[in-house]
Structure 1
Amino acid sequence: MKLVIFDVDGTLVDSQAHIIASMAAAFAEADVPMPERETILSIVGLSLPMAMRELAPEVDETTLGRMIDAYKATFQHLRMAQGAAASPLYDGAEDTVRRLGARDDVMLAIATGKSRRGLTALMAGWDFADLFMSTQSADDHPSKPHPSMVMTCLMDCGVSAQDAVVIGDTTFDMEMARAAQVPSIGVRWGYHGQEALLSAGARTVLDRFDQLDAALDEIWKD
C-alpha cells in the first residue's frame, strides 16, 4: 500500500484571505503594526503559537496570548459567516483526492498546521472527507517541520516511509517530510515559491493538480 499525506492550507484550500483577516484582528488587539501580507503568508503551515511568535517577536507572553485568542475568534466567526467560501478548494483538489481515494493501492492522510477544531469544521463541508484514513493537526503534535504528524500518519496506516509521499506548498512541509525520511512533492499555487520548495527537499514542484498522478508514479516506480 502507498500513502499520500496532504497539507491543507495552501495545498488543498485557498485560505489566505481568511488568514490575513484573522491576523489583522490579532494585531489590532495588541495595537502593534501588522506585518506585510507576504510576511504573514510565509509562516502559514506553522502552528498558530509559533507563527504568531515569529510575526510578533517583540510582544510579551500575555499579549501574545491575547493575539492568539483574537485570531481564533475571528477565524471562527468568518468560517461561520462564510462557510466553505472562507476556504475554497483549489481547482482540481477534490477530483484528485477522489481519484486517488478510489485506488486500491493508495491511502490518504492529512498533516496540517490547523487546529483540530478548524480542521474538523473544514472537513465537515467535504463529502469526500471519509477518504482520509488519518488526520493530524497542530493541536496534537509539535509544529512543522517536526516529523511527528507524518510519523503518526505512517503508523495509523501501516505504511513505511518509502511508500509514502507528502504533498505541500511550504518549506515546512518539505522539511517535515525529510525529517520523517518521506519523499515530498511541492505545489506552486500556495505560499512558498518553487525554488524554496526544491531547496527544502521537494522531488518536484507541480503547476497543476492533474500532474500529481505522474509525479507519484515517478517516485514510486522502483
Structure 2
Amino acid sequence: MVFGYVRVSTKEQNESRQIKALMDYCKELKQENIYIDKQSGKNFERESYQKLKSILREGDTLIIKELDRLGRNKDMIKEELEYFKNNKIRIKILNIPTTLMDLPKDNQWVFDMINNILVEVLSAIAEEERNKIRIRQAEGIAIAKEQGKYRGRPKAELPKDFEKLFKQWKEEKINATQFTKLLGLKSRTTLYKYIERYETE
C-alpha cells in the first residue's frame, strides 16, 4: 500500500500544499492514507506519525514532500530511516530524486542501496553539524578567554553508565530505544539532549 505523511509546525499553518504535491506525484495515493501532524519536528512523539508507523508493513511505500517534514533532528531522522530500511518499507522524498527511481522487480539491492544512501547522507550532515557546533563553541570560548570573560561552567552531570552505553550506541551494539531504557529515561527526546550535551562539551 501507499501512504503519505504531512507535517506543519503549527495549527495555523496550512497543509494543503504538501497534500497536493503528494497526490499529484502518486495517483494511487488516497487522501485517507495521508497522515497529518501539526506540531514541531523536534522529536517523533507525534500522534499521527506514530499511528502511521504502526500501520506500515513490509512492501509498503511512504511518500513525504521534503525530508525535514519527517523531522528536524538529523540523528533521529537517521534512526527512523534505519527502521524503514530494516522493515523493508520504501520511503520516497519528493525533493530527493534518487528516492523516486522506478525499481525493477526482484531487485531488492537497488532498494537497499537507495535507503543506504539516505542514511549515509543524513549521518554525514549530522556529523558536520556537530563539528560546526564544536568549532563555534571553541571559538567563542577562545575569544572570551582573551577578553578575560570566560569563567567556564560546571560540567553537566550525566546519568550513571552514560559513557559506557554511549560507546555501545555509537558502535551500533544497542539502539536508541534500548539506550533510553538502560538509562532509565522516560523518552528518547531526553536521551538526545544528553547526547548533544555530551558531544559538545
* TM norm structure 1: 0.27
Q: Comparing both chains, which one has the higher relative contact order based on Cα–Cα distances under 8 Å and sequence gaps of 6 or more?
A: 1
